[in-house]
A and B are shown apart, each in its own frame.
Chain A
């Protein structure tokens, strides 16, 4: 069965006809040319397909495209950097603070997991700002969990890096969080 859907991808409305079995990841990559989200495990275990969907970090491999008709999706390419096909970019080509922090701290080696890591990190910082707890938050009732290294590790645990760039990723998220707190 085919279905006509529309997705807003990095600020651009894209209409597409998909087989109802198509995952959101395959619709983005194979049908719409948005190749920033990567297919790693395709079973929700690695996080490399992470995007921001309606403002929250979301796996695109464990989602049917048809069920997300109308969704607003921001990929790592839509966060900042030079504009281009399928990318929001920014008027002056500036990188998002999280993207810049990954560069500053070598938060990657091969780069395959990076678009997912970056989207997840943006989500983590939003969740910290909103006061959401994590499993390592000692006082659940506290409304301002700190962005400690333990908190960042726990909150980023859904994104695997086979190159093992975790030390750099941790430093990058810490830097971006500190910048946000100052801003």
Chain B
């Protein structure tokens, strides 16, 4: 590991100024992903600016029934928050589906969103990877590809985004509050993460020195009837093969409103707008749910190793929507 200068920031503006001025500096939050990357040689910063003790650890209720979640709120605290459990169950379930009890105490809200792919080649510095070393090639294209993306991938990168929380927040129209050198701006979660294109080294639209200070969840009629379902190789403590965040508002058995986002299928949390549109106004049945998911998946590109994901996410979507309709959260 390279020599490391450590600086504990006293306020957010100072932290932003320090990182923005030094291309070799990185923010340190809970450290659960970055410390591992330091050991693996995946990240080689010269300076760490520790933002984990900044006063960004409050969950505040907003007038519209929404929540403003500080960037440093720990995953376990957010999952246990009474308003999240009652009003945004997809968020609580997504958090609880991620990592382990220990890691959830350490990991922060913003850090969870900005964690990097678990593609085995990205984490192995002995192999080519365009995300880690732009221009070096993609080892996952011809290698172990079971976790690869099936939507929105490029020839440069087929990695998937690993966060569960980001999928739930994407479904529920959350907004990231970002402080940069030129001030504050707001970025919808649906626009925060990028598709890889020719620049897979960029996971998000954030620039160097941009600090996520909060995430806002708008008040919503559908959020209380939401949930998160995750398919994986083990019953616990594993990343998603595919996952579904869903919320539905029914009038009898007719869909008045619906939100759908998928994890494990793309370089970013995948908001399934096509499926949502197909479902709005339709009678919710196993068949209509599967057809809606299939419409979204018409754009999927698969290999022998990833073909299972299309069937899996279609079925999990239908299963999850029908469970919601039956009162499950």
Query: How distant is A146 from chain B, measured CB to nearest CB, in Å?
Result: 16
- Inter-subunit contact A63/B102 (CB<8 Å): no
Decide: A67 and B50 in contact? CB cutoff 8 A: yes
Q: Which of A119-146 contact B (CB under 8 A)?
A: 120, 123-124, 127, 130-135, 137, 140-141
Question: Chain B's nearest CB lies how many Å from the CB of A168?
Answer: 19
A3 close to chain B: CB less than 8 A: yes
Q: A23 near B80 (CB under 8 angstroms)?
A: no
B105, A57: Cβ atoms closer than 8 Å = yes
B103 touching A62 by the CB < 8 A rule?
yes
| Chain B 1-19: CB-based contact to A (< 8 A → 1; otherwise 0) | 1011110100000000000
- Is A6's CB within 8 Å of the partner chain B? no
Which segment of B91-99, B170-178, B252-260 sits at the interface? B91-99
Of listed A62, A64, A137, A157, residue having the most chain B CB within 10 A: A62
**Closest A residue, CB atoms, query B28:** A67
Scoring A21, A58, A131 by chain B CB atoms within 10 A of each residue's CB, the highest score goes to A21
Residue from A67, A130, A132, A159 with most neighbouring chain B CB atoms (10 Å): A67
A157: contacting residue among B38, B82, B93, B236, CB under 8 A: B236
Known: A57-B101, A120-B101, A135-B93. A67 touches B6 (CB 8 A): yes
Chain B contacts with A in 245-270, Cβ cutoff 8 A: none
From known contacts A1-B5, A57-B105, infer whether A135 and B96 are also in contact, taking CB-CB under 8 Å. Answer: yes
Q: Are B99 and A62 neighbours in the complex by a CB distance under 8 Å?
A: no
| B87 shortest CB reach to chain A, Å | 10
Cross-interface CB contact of B85 among A61, A123, A140, A155, cutoff 8 Å:
A140
Within the complex, the shortest CB–CB distance from B234 to chain A, in Å, comes to 8
Of B35, B92, B237, B329, which one neighbours A63 at CB under 8 angstroms? Answer: B35
The answer to whether B39 has its CB under 8 Å from any CB of chain A is: yes
Chain A residues with Cβ below 8 Å from B76 are 56, 127, 132
Whether the Cβ atoms of A63 and B6 lie closer than 8 Å is no
CA distance A82 to B99 in the complex (A): 34
Chain B residue numbers with a CB within 8 Å of A153 are 236
Question: CB-defined interface of B95-114 with A at 8 Å, one 1/0 digit per residue?
Answer: 01101111101100000000
Q: CB of B86 within 8 A of chain A?
A: yes
Chain A residues 46 to 78 lying within 8 A of chain B, measured CB to CB, are 47, 50, 56-59, 61-64, 66-67
A132→B79 contact, CB < 8 A: yes
Q: Are B105 and A58 in contact (CB under 8 A)?
A: yes
Contact B32 A21 (CB under 8 A): no
List chain B residues, Cβ under 8 A from A127: 76, 101
Q: Which residues from chain B contact A3 at a C-beta distance below 8 Å?
A: 6
Identify which of residues 50-89 in chain B touch chain A, using a CB-to-CB cut-off of 8 Å. Answer: 50, 52, 76, 79-80, 82, 85-86, 89
Tell me if A67 and B52 are in contact (CB < 8 A): yes
Give the 8 A-B CB pairs with smallest separation, nearest first: A158-B100, A157-B236, A135-B96, A20-B6, A132-B80, A157-B237, A140-B85, A20-B4
Residues of chain A touching chain B, judged by Cβ–Cβ distance below 8 Å, are 1, 3, 20-21, 23, 42-44, 47, 50, 56-59, 61-64, 66-67, 120, 123-124, 127, 130-135, 137, 140-141, 153-159
Extra 13 A-B pairs, beta carbons < 8 Å, given A62-B32, A127-B76: A1-B6, A47-B100, A59-B106, A63-B35, A66-B6, A123-B101, A130-B80, A133-B80, A135-B93, A140-B89, A141-B86, A158-B99, A158-B237
CB-defined A-B contacts under 8 Å, sample of 16: A1-B5, A20-B48, A21-B4, A23-B35, A42-B39, A57-B101, A62-B35, A120-B101, A123-B101, A140-B89, A141-B82, A153-B236, A154-B236, A155-B101, A156-B101, A157-B235
